[in-house]
Amino acid sequence: MPDGASQLTTPADFAFAGYLARLADSHLVLGHRLSEWCGHGPVLEEDLALTNLALDCLGHATVLLRLLGQADGTGRDEDQLAYFREAVEFRNVLLVEQPNGDFARTIARVFLFAAYALPLYEQLQRSTDAALAAAATKFHPELRYHLRHAARWMLILGDGTDESHRRLQEAIDAWWPYTGELFALWPDDPALIERGLIPHPDRVRAAWEATITEVLGQARLARPVAGMHMLLGGPIGRHTETLGYLLAEMQIVARSFPGASW
């Protein structure tokens, strides 16, 4: 039994823990991908902007992983959860683990994710879990900025040069098959919705659709065809190959020097 487990006062809630893992791991992995831009941004200002977004994502993941360690009954802290789980134990959506690609792909992914996360956390502020509701209230203004920043770049690139427009359209087309997973209803979810812990994904999707339609229109970008086959698997631990490489880099220091501090 891990240290601290005896201090738990609430029994494990595996369905809720699974949902928290989906949120926490998605923020953690997206934050790591964004941190890969550190020192490589197209201009100094955007280098800072992307790493600020990355730090926000890591902050969200830290809070959510702490909640996860309580909900799953193990008492693990955020470092144990981030650095000492294997790829199959991660529950992030597939969208966030894919390599960054060029700047257009990076921005398009932040846009698609923030347009989903903003209404999600708006509704999670009314969760019957007080700790998750408080976390959502803290995240919400930061996510509003993520969407504002990414949406502005969508306009600049989409309505910019022929090349910037082409690259951004390719980015949207490439990410589109990963967007269905954001709104998937998994077997444990109806009970969580019934308990008032999480919103129904259809309610988040409606807000996401409105944002996507507005910004794609303003940026003169075509919306990918409806009915495209959507990729599913991240929230049940079926990841793409790339997550293993990402985790190897993210976890190597903590695993080489367990308990180190600096």
Partner 1 sequence: MSGAAASGEGPVWEVFVQEKAGDPHKHAGSVHAHDAEMALQHARDVYARRGQVASMWVVPHAAISASMPADNASFFDPADDKIYRLPAHYLSPASDRRR
User: Which spans of this chain sit near partner 1 (rule: CB under 8 A)?
Assistant: 42-46, 48-49, 52, 148-149, 152-153, 156, 160
Q: Which residues contact 26 (CB under 8 A, 6 or more apart)?
A: 91, 92, 93, 96, 113, 234
**Closest approach of partner 1 to the CB of residue 41, in Å:** 11
Secondary structure (H, E, C), 142-172: HHHHHHHHHHHHHHHHHCCCHHHHHHHHHHH
Note the Cα 55 to chain centre separation in Å: 13
**Closest approach of partner 1 to the CB of residue 152, in Å:** 5
Half-sphere exposure (CA, 13 Å, Cβ side) for 74? 14
Per the CB < 8 A criterion, the answer to whether 51 and 37 are in contact is: yes
Secondary structure (H, E, C), 221-235: CCCCCCCCCCCCCHH
Choose between 55 and 193: whose C-beta lies nearer to partner 1.
Answer: 55
Choose between 38 and 48: whose C-beta lies nearer to partner 1.
Answer: 48
**Closest approach of partner 1 to the CB of residue 26, in Å:** 23
**Closest approach of partner 1 to the CB of residue 43, in Å:** 5
Choose between 140 and 195: whose C-beta lies nearer to partner 1.
Answer: 140
Half-sphere exposure (CA, 13 Å, Cβ side) for 113? 28
Choose between 160 and 224: whose C-beta lies nearer to partner 1.
Answer: 160
**Closest approach of partner 1 to the CB of residue 110, in Å:** 13
Choose between 35 and 52: whose C-beta lies nearer to partner 1.
Answer: 52
